[in-house]
Structures are given as C-alpha cells and as structure tokens.
C-alpha cells in the first residue's frame, strides 16, 4: 500500500485540512490513519495494479499530524469538485465511518482552501445585512417560536405571532416540524401571519420578521419560497440536515433575496457522540459555506445538550486554517474571503432569567430565541415577550435582573416562575 503518513508535510494553501478523532480496532492510530486516508481518497484495502505513480503523486493525501487519537489529513484540492458539497463529504465523511479497522471515528473540523470557498456563494445577507434589515445595530435580536409546535390553526398561529411582536420580539418563526399539516395549511398560515406582522409593525414602529418553515421535497421548497417572496415575506426557514445539503444549496442558488434561517433538527444524530460522527463545528462551517444567513448553534445554558465550551467553539475562538494556519479566529464571523458571516441563533430552554449569562458567554452578536420562556409566562405571550426584551435591556445596561424587575412587572413575573 501507499504510505500516507508524512509528518514532515506542510499543508498547502490548496489543501483541504481535515481533523479526525480515531479509535482503532486492534491496530495503532497510525495504522488506522493510513486506512482512513486511503479509503477517503485514491486507495483501497489492498494494492491494485491500476494505481500509477502519476495518480499517487498528484492526488495522494498526507497524514501530517498524529497526536494521541487526533489525526490531521491534508487532501489535495484536485480530489474534489468545486461547488459540490455532497461529493466532498462522500470522500472525507463517507465510507470511512463504516470501516472495520476502527471502533470510533469523528470528523472534528474542516478547513477549506480559497479555491473551494470561492465555489460557494455563502450567505446573501449575513449579520450586517440582517441588522440593516431590522435596523438594530448593537443589541441581540429577540425571537420566539410559536408554541405549541403543532396544533394551532393558521389564524391562531398568526394571533400568537402578533402578540409576541407587540410584546417586543423582533422575529417569529415556525417550529421545525410545522410545514403544511391539515390543521394548519402552509399558504393560509403565511398569509395570516404576514398580515399580523404588518399590523404589529404599524403598532410598534419596529421592523418585524416572520420565518415560515418551507422544509419539504426540493421542488416544493422552491414553490414555497417563491410564494413567500410574492407575498412580501423576507425570510424562509429550512431544516438543513433533514432536507440535505443539496437541497439547501438549491434554495440558496435561487437568489430570491430571502434571508435563510437554518434549523439544525437532527444534528445530534451526528454530533452528540463525542467519539463518533461529525462535530457541530463542521456542520456550522458547511452551512456557512453553502450560504445560510442564520444558524442554530445551541445555548450553553438551556435545555439542549451542548456545553458552553462546545457552543463557544462554533461562535467563539477556535483554531481554523482557512486563512492563517494555527491562528485563532472566529468561525461564524471570521473573514472567509468573500463569504459573509452567519448570525448565530441561541435556542432551547431559554427564559428571561438566563439572558445575562447567555450574553456574557456569547456576546451581543446573537439571536436569542425563546419558546416556552415567552409563551409560558403567567401573563401570556405579549407580557412574556416584554419580559424577555426587558431582560436584554437590563443585561446591556449591566443592571442586575432582580433590581431591574422591581420596576418591570413582566420581568418580575418571569423571575418568580423560572428564577435566574
């Protein structure tokens, strides 16, 4: 077999760099690394007569780092089709997960060279475009998810949205499993909720956003996106992992002028096992490259699995080799040539009492989404939204929540119910 390990190799700016966590089966990590590099590129399990040195010299990847169970492989850019994320992942995240020479394998990180980055569009709006649309410069955006997830009809859905907007939410979105059910038809819901948005804007003088969930078969998603655009909508939401990367890219390439909100439903099937699968960091990078504008990354303080360190790895400081090898950069906001930054969305078990800690961990450049933390307020959705907005105001003013609640009854009721 070819020798894929070359610890003296210095990755080129034209290489895709992939980091894996490896637990081999009855062999060393180095031996397992050879198999991973071969199977994910030009090799196979045995020597083959069809291999020639010209192919090997041009396309052979190099395992250039082995540190305990962590290996790093540099893949020549020529192995991959630009603009084709499924093909890229079929190589570096394909058959290798099923090899019997490993017990566990986790794709921890990817760094893309300029040639690959330039073949994707990235976000159409990104953080700056969204802030410009909403005319909000410095504070976190506040959003909610209509609850219950399913069961409300179109008019009821729109009514809840209207209360949330009037109370102080900037954004209202469908939940991940609400699309076009018999009790709440998609087209009716979009019409009703956009009308409620317009009324809320007139009442509050603030820009309000509705994010309908278009998740479906690709042709149906195109139809739904175009319908939203025709009615004056400005956003769409997609469950990016259940629809698939090809479908997400198809929607992005439509260039309809709609902000794309990416829900990560199903991600834990890939990301939760810290020894096997694909990291959320990797998912986030792929989503940004393809071109979503907003992405769920977890909360670090809510109900969903994911530590503060893991969430910060996506939104905060991590090691990325896309621009400067071994330099600390910011994943969702770092400069990726012409690829715009993605707005990180924090959602899952949040309530007003968690807002100061969340902002302390994540900073102000986030979208804070509360579902039950708004609709579960004892005074109703409108007051729940007001309490959430008050919590953000208090955090930005560096005022203790309990002190701020003395003059804000909505916040006080929230703290009485959920604490801090």
pLDDT digit string, tens, across residues 212-228? 999 999 999 999 999 99
Q: Report pLDDT for 27.
A: 95
Q: Are 351 and 133 in contact (CB under 8 A)?
A: no
DSSP 316: S
Query: Torsion over CA of 240, 244, 245 and 251, rounded to 10 degrees?
Result: -70
Please indicate whether residue 263 is annotated as part of the active site.
yes
Strand 102-111 to 70-76 pairing: unpaired
Euclidean distance between CA atoms 309 and 300, whole angstroms: 8
Q: Report pLDDT for 53.
A: 64
CATH of 126-418, one of 1.10.260.40, 3.20.20.70, 3.30.300.30, 3.20.20.110: 3.20.20.110
- This prediction has a pTM of 0.90
SS3 content of the chain, % helix, strand, coil (to 5): 40, 20, 40
- The tokens for 213 are 């969930």
Q: Report pLDDT for 305.
A: 45
DSSP 365: S
Euclidean distance between CA atoms 66 and 73, whole angstroms: 9
CA distances from 17 to 61, 64, 105, 397 (A): 10, 10, 16, 43
Residue spans of the domains in the chain: they are 15-117, 126-418
Q: Are 19 and 72 in contact (CB under 8 A)?
A: yes
Please tell me whether residue 383 adopts helix, strand or coil conformation: helix
CATH 2.20.28.120 correct for 15-117: no
**Ranges in the chain, pLDDT < 70:** 1-2, 44-56, 299-337
Euclidean distance between CA atoms 110 and 309, whole angstroms: 19
* Burial 170-185, CB ≥16 within 10 A → b, else e: bbbbbbbebbbeeebe
Please indicate whether residue 187 is annotated as part of the active site.
no
What does the radius of gyration of the chain's CA atoms come to, in whole angstroms? 23
Please tell me whether residue 336 adopts helix, strand or coil conformation: strand
Q: Exactly one of 60, 147, 173, 285 is catalytic; name it.
A: 147
Q: Exactly one of 72, 208, 261, 263 is catalytic; name it.
A: 263
Q: Are 107 and 278 in contact (CB under 8 A)?
A: yes
CA distances from 302 to 282, 305, 356 (A): 22, 8, 13
Render 27-45 in DSSP notation, one character per residue.
S-HHHHHHHHHHHTTT--S
Q: Comparing C-alpha atoms, which of 134, 63, 169 is closest to residue 387?
A: 169
């Amino acid at each position: 077999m070819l020798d894929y390990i070359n610890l003296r190799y210095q990755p080129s700016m034209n290489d895709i760099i992939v980091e894996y966590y490896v637990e081999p089966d009855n062999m060393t990590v180095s031996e397992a690394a050879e198999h991973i590099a071969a199977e994910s590129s030009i090799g196979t399990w045995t020597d083959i007569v069809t291999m020639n040195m010209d192919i090997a010299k041009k396309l052979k990847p190099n395992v250039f780092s082995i540190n305990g169970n962590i290996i790093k492989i540099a893949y020549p850019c020529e192995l991959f089709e630009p603009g084709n994320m499924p093909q890229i992942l079929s190589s570096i995240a394909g058959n290798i997960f099923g090899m019997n020479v490993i017990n566990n394998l986790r794709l921890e990180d990817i760094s893309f060279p300029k040639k690959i980055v330039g073949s994707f569009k990235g976000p159409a709006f990104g953080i700056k475009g969204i802030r410009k649309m909403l005319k909000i410069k410095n504070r976190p955006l506040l959003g909610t998810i209509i609850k219950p997830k399913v069961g409300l009809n179109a008019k009821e859905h729109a009514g809840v949205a209207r209360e949330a907007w009037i109370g102080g939410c900037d954004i209202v979105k469908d939940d991940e499993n609400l699309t076009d059910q018999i009790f709440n038809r998609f087209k009716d819901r979009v019409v009703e909720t956009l009308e409620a948005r317009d009324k809320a804007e007139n009442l509050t003088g603030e820009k309000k956003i509705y994010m309908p969930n278009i998740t479906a078969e690709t042709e149906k998603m195109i139809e739904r996106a175009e319908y939203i655009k025709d009615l004056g909508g400005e956003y769409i939401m997609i469950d990016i992992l259940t629809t698939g990367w090809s479908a997400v890219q198809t929607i992005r390439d439509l260039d309809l002028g709609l902000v794309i909100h990416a829900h990560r439903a199903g991600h834990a099937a890939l990301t939760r096992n810290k020894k096997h699968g694909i990291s959320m960091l990797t998912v986030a990078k792929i989503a940004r490259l393809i071109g979503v504008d907003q992405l769920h990354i977890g909360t670090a303080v809510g109900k969903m699995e994911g530590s503060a360190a893991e969430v910060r790895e996506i939104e905060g400081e991590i090691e990325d080799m896309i621009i400067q090898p071994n330099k600390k950069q910011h994943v969702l906001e770092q400069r990726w040539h012409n690829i715009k930054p993605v707005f990180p969305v924090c959602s899952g078990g949040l309530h007003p009492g968690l807002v100061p800690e969340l902002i302390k961990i994540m900073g102000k450049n986030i979208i804070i989404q509360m579902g039950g933390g708004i609709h579960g307020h004892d005074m109703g959705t409108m007051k729940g939204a007001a309490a959430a907005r008050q919590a953000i105001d208090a955090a930005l003013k560096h005022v203790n929540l309990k002190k701020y609640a003395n003059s804000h009854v909505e916040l006080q009721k929230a703290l009485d119910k959920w604490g801090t």
